[in-house]
Amino acid sequence: MNNPPSSFVAIYGGSFDPLHKAHSEIIRLLCEDSLFWHIILLPNYANPLKPPPLFSALERLKMCQIMANAYNARYSSLTSLPKVAVSDYEVGQNKPVFSV
């Protein structure tokens, strides 16, 4: 990968239940910040500190993928990786995951 030596990967996790304008604005700001060359959206399976989600984990994962595709169409990547990616790591656990 040819990422700039002084740049970072942003991992943006959350319930995204549902994905809304504030989430979109944070993703836009990350895309426009030259400090970050790659952004990973990390929806959780279920937030252990909140009531049950409105949307299933797979529906929220799909919403994140749609959002990532929209931003990838607008912002070019510095590498072969897309500017915005989605990880199914926590959704794939099929249980609440505590992360810091």
Phi and psi, residue 37, nearest 5°: -95, -15
Superfamily of domain 8-93: HUPs (3.40.50.620)
Q: pTM of the prediction? A: 0.90
Q: Mind listing the pLDDT tens digit for each residue in 8-53?
A: 999 999 999 999 999 999 999 999 999 999 999 999 999 888 899 9
Q: How far apart are CA 98 and CA 100, in angstroms?
A: 7
Return the HEC string of 72-89: HHHCCCCCCCCCEEECCC
Q: Where are the domains positioned within the chain?
A: 8-93
Q: Mind listing the pLDDT tens digit for each residue in 48-77?
A: 888 999 999 999 999 999 999 999 999 988
Residue 12 parent element (H or E): strand 8-14
